[in-house]
Structure 1
Amino acid sequence: MRDLQRPGRSAVMAMNGICATSHPIAAEAAVDILKRGGTAMDAAIAGAVLLGLCEPQSTGIGGDCFALVSPAGCDDVLAFNGSGTAPAAADAADLRNKGLATIPLHSVHAVTLPGAVDMFCTLSERFGKLGLDVSLAPAIHYAEAGVPIAQRVAFDLAREAKVLQGASRRHYLHDDAVPVLGSIFRAPGQAEVLRRIARDGRDAFYSGEIAEDMVTSLNAVGGAHTMDDFADVSGMETTPVSGTYKASELVEHPPNGQGATAILLLNILKHFDIAGMDPLGAERVHIEAEAAKLAYDARNRFIADPDHTTRLDHLLAPDTAAKLAALIDPNKAMTAPATLGEAVHKDTVYITVVDKDRMAVSLIYSIFHGLGSGIASEKFGILFQNRGAGFTLQEGHPNELKGGKRPMHTIIPGMLRRDGRVEMPFGVMGGQYQPNGHARFLSNMVDFGMDPQSAIDAPRSFTDGGRLKVERGYSDKVRQTLADMGHDIEVPDVPIGGAQAIRIHQNGVLEGASDPRKDGCAIGY
């Protein structure tokens, strides 16, 4: 329990249902759907799509999603991949011939096909009760009426709006000025798109006038995207991967997501007495940073499109973790292993919902970097993700850019089971940080007895690009000790990640937690 005399958030306790996400308007819309008799999936779709209007810098219908779902009445966890592929004509060799070593973040070459709408339609049909039109109604309303710009959104837009180009400046800026705190963001073009999807389903988005608007806009800036590419978009159900950390089982989305990286990281940490360390001390930060360097290096070597990831068993094997753990010097930082140039990002939204029947949904939804590619469709203002920057141009690499392939994805939903019982859907936003965030969140609870809200609130650190980012919540003494170990220390301007979780207690009580690093909250009833 938190110290009630210090600033902080109390957990949200409820019996019937909870939504936890990064914007209160989206959380409230999801709970309204639950109160109308909708399932957790009806509510999660409503909240997620609305987040594209509440946090347009982080997500939208031009992006992708992944979901883990535990249906009502069981403890199974199902995985759904709503990530799009590169257009059929895409080829790394073409970009190498142009002298490129990486895919430019804000170019049309980084635009993969948007997979989220297809997956929302699939999930609504399979797990929903009220219908897609009901789930999309809140987003349609707010796209037309507008959403006030919240504090974290204003902070992000001020940093990221410079990437907007062409039609996106008309759709996402106010008379070419960056929207500020309290100003109103409207998206009437997206309202029309969502209205057509509500009426006609996925085909309204992937064919006809809306698809023509997207294809024409992409082709105008050199894209190789075709109407056939959009018509062929199809998500898939897949099999989760999992690993144990003490008494908890961590269930993750499989490749092309990076969930296996979190399991590998925890498997490495098992070889150290994390529980015997100061939770906010330098020793823990150091060991975690060294383990992350090794786990992320393995990720960069092996994780790719599901049909091209061939070493998944190796990543998850205890022997692999043992060999990597043996490389860690408890007193000295190693040189960060070389990465392969895949882009990383900081912006994503996450939503989790549990309903009265205890269906649990863990869903993450993104356009990759802040404001994605910066390219939007001319008529409807659909902002395209730059997820293709997650490919490598290295010839022969499993994650090499090729038409029809899905890139390595940073977004990962999570789910915890204990003794076979689904206990907690959760997620940690923050691009490349996410596997480290999953491991830190779980370790905070398992090793140090923190409740979910405290585990989210606790300060974070992350080794990224050869520098160790250490949030202001750590002391100067800790930072100096880490520097003495050889770490290049940085206090980041932007908070590291954001998280939400819902614990399902054995007595049926639901406990929601949401990260103060974002604008959101948990709401229950």
Structure 2
Amino acid sequence: MRDYHLPGRSPVLAANGLCATSHPLAAKVAIDILETGGNAVDAAIGAGVLLGICEPQMTGIGGDCFVLLKPAGEERVIALNGSGRAPAGLSAAVMREKGHATVPLRGVEAVTLPGAVDAFCTLSENWGLLALDQVLAPAIRYAETGVPVAPRVAFDWAIAADTLQGAARGYYLTNGKAPAVGETFRAPGQAEVLRRIAREGRAGFYEGEVAEDLVASLQALGGSHTLDDLAATSCTYTEPVASAYAGIELLEHPPNGQGATANLMLNILSHFDVKSLDPFGARRAHLEAEATKLAYDARNRFIADPDHTSRLQHMLAPETAAKLAALIDPNRAMPAARPLSEAVHRDTVYLTVVDRDGMAVSLIYSIFHAFGAGLASDRFGVLFQNRGAGFTLEEGHPNEAGGGKRPMHTIIPAMLREGGRVTLPFGVMGGAYQPCGHARFVTNLVDYGLDLQTAIDAPRCFSGVEGMDVERGYAPEVRAELAEMGHRVRIPEGPLGGAQAIRIDHARGVLEGASDPRKDGCALGY
């Protein structure tokens, strides 16, 4: 239980349905959909699409999504891969010949086909209760009439404004500047796109005038993207990957997502007495940082397009974790793991919904970096993701850029299962931080007994390619001790990630939701 003398918020409790998102308008829309007869899938789609209007720097219909779904009345968990592929004409060899060591971060070469719309349409058709036009109506209305820019959104928007290029500047800047807090952002072009999707389903996006706008805009920028590439975009049902930790089971989305990295981190940490360490002390932070380096090195070697990922079982094998754990010095930081050749970022949105029938959705949705590639379609203003920057240009690597391939993805939804029952859909936004964030969230709950909201509020640290980011929530002496152990400690410009979670209390028939104060959102139920 939190100390009520100190700033903070309580978990949200409800009996009929609950949503946790990074924006309050999206949470409200999700609850409205549940109350009008929709289920968790309907609510997640409605809220998720709206987040592309509320937080356009983070996500949008030009991006990708991953989903974990627990159907009502069942305990199985289904994974849906809503990530798009590279255009057939993409070539790592050509980029290397041009002198590129990595995929150009804000270039048209980084733009992969948008997969989220196909995934939303598939989810709606296969699992939803309401018609798609009813589910999308709130997002269409808000895109047309506008959304007041929230404080965290304005903070991120201002930092990333200079990345916008060409047509995107006209759609996402006001007189050349990022909108201020409270200024209304409108996206009438996207409202029209959503109306077409509401009427025609996926054909309203992947065919006709919208598709022509997307492809013509990309080709004008020098892209190899074609209408055939776009039309071929299709999501894929698959199975989660799982691992055990202290009596609970962590379910993650499989490759091309990086979820297995979180499984490996917990497998490594299981070889240490984490519970005995101060939850916010240097020793725990150091141990987590070392496990992060080792697990992320494995990620960089193995995770790629599902058709090119061949060593997943080795990555998740108990003996692999045991050997990696043995490399950790409890008193000294190891050198940074192999540098990433693919780009990392901190931008995405995550939401989770559980309805009165027990259907649970864990959904993450992103355009990769802030404003994606910084490019938008000319007519409708759809932002293009730069997810192709997640490829490497290393010849022969499983994640080498190539036509028709899906890049390694940082976005990962998750669920916890206890005693064979799903008890907690959750996610931690924040690009490369996400697997580390998942492991920390789980250990906050399991090893330290923190309640859901406190587990999210707690200070974070992350050992990445630029050093060890340690939030200001840590005491100065902790940062000093970490530096003495050999970590390159720094305080990041912004907070690390943002989390949402819902605990399903099967015994009492109650839902408990929590939302990260690092974002603008909330948990809301009825």
Report if TM-score (shorter chain) is over 0.5: yes
- CA shift, 1:339, in A, is 2.2
Show the counterpart of 1:510: 511
Q: In the alignment, residue 198 of structure 2 is paired with which amino acid?
A: A
Secondary structure in 2 matching 1:94: helix
Show the counterpart of 1:5: 5
Secondary structure in 1 matching 2:251: strand
Secondary structure in 2 matching 1:448: coil
Secondary structure in 1 matching 2:307: coil
Aligned mates of 1:72, 1:308 — CA distance in 2 = 33
Show the counterpart of 1:321: 321
List aligned pairs for 1:380-395, cutoff 5 A.
Answer: 380-395=380-395
- CA shift, 1:466, in A, is 4.2
Aligned mates of 2:410, 2:245 — CA distance in 1 = 22
Is 1:461 paired with 2:456?
A: no
Show the counterpart of 2:34: 34
List aligned pairs for 1:117-516, cutoff 5 A.
Answer: 117-506=117-506, 507-516=508-517
Deviations 1:441-487 (A, max 9, x none): 00000000011111000000000114011000100110110000000
Show the counterpart of 1:85: 85
- CA shift, 1:132, in A, is 1.0
TM-score (norm 2): 0.99
CA RMSD of aligned residues (A): 0.6
Aligned mates of 1:511, 1:216 — CA distance in 2 = 47
Q: In the alignment, residue 515 of structure 1 is paired with which amino acid?
A: D
Aligned mates of 2:116, 2:166 — CA distance in 1 = 24
Q: In the alignment, residue 510 of structure 2 is paired with which amino acid?
A: V
Q: In the alignment, residue 511 of structure 1 is paired with which amino acid?
A: E
Show the counterpart of 1:111: 111
Q: In the alignment, residue 277 of structure 1 is paired with which amino acid?
A: L
TM-score (norm 1): 1.00
Secondary structure in 2 matching 1:74: coil
Is the CA contact 2:340–2:465 (under 8 Å) kept in the aligned structure 1? no
Secondary structure in 1 matching 2:141: helix
Secondary structure in 2 matching 1:381: coil
Aligned mates of 1:292, 1:265 — CA distance in 2 = 6
Aligned mates of 1:49, 1:444 — CA distance in 2 = 31
Q: How many residues align?
A: 525
Secondary structure in 2 matching 1:296: helix
- CA shift, 1:216, in A, is 0.7
- CA shift, 1:175, in A, is 2.3
- CA shift, 1:247, in A, is 1.0
Deviations 1:170-196 (A, max 9, x none): 111112221111100000000000000
Deviations 1:230-272 (A, max 9, x none): 0100000011100011111000000000000000000000111
Is the CA contact 1:335–1:466 (under 8 Å) kept in the aligned structure 2? no
Secondary structure in 2 matching 1:412: coil
Runs of 4+ that moved beyond 3 A: none
Unaligned runs of 5+ in 2: none
Is the CA contact 1:336–1:466 (under 8 Å) kept in the aligned structure 2? no
Secondary structure in 1 matching 2:411: coil
Is the CA contact 1:82–1:116 (under 8 Å) kept in the aligned structure 2? yes
Is the CA contact 1:350–1:427 (under 8 Å) kept in the aligned structure 2? yes
Deviations 1:86-125 (A, max 9, x none): 0001010000000100011110000000000000000001
Aligned mates of 2:399, 2:156 — CA distance in 1 = 29
Secondary structure in 2 matching 1:285: helix
Deviations 1:377-432 (A, max 9, x none): 00000000000000000000000000000000000000000000110100000000
Aligned mates of 1:337, 1:516 — CA distance in 2 = 31
Aligned mates of 1:508, 1:80 — CA distance in 2 = 27
- CA shift, 1:340, in A, is 3.8
Aligned mates of 1:339, 1:234 — CA distance in 2 = 32
Deviations 1:350-382 (A, max 9, x none): 010000001000000000001100000000000
Aligned mates of 1:285, 1:177 — CA distance in 2 = 39
Secondary structure in 2 matching 1:307: helix
Q: In the alignment, residue 165 of structure 2 is paired with which amino acid?
A: Q
Q: In the alignment, residue 201 of structure 1 is paired with which amino acid?
A: G
Q: In the alignment, residue 512 of structure 2 is paired with which amino acid?
A: E
Unaligned runs of 5+ in 1: none
Aligned mates of 2:37, 2:123 — CA distance in 1 = 17
Secondary structure in 1 matching 2:447: helix
Secondary structure in 2 matching 1:10: coil
Q: In the alignment, residue 193 of structure 1 is paired with which amino acid?
A: V
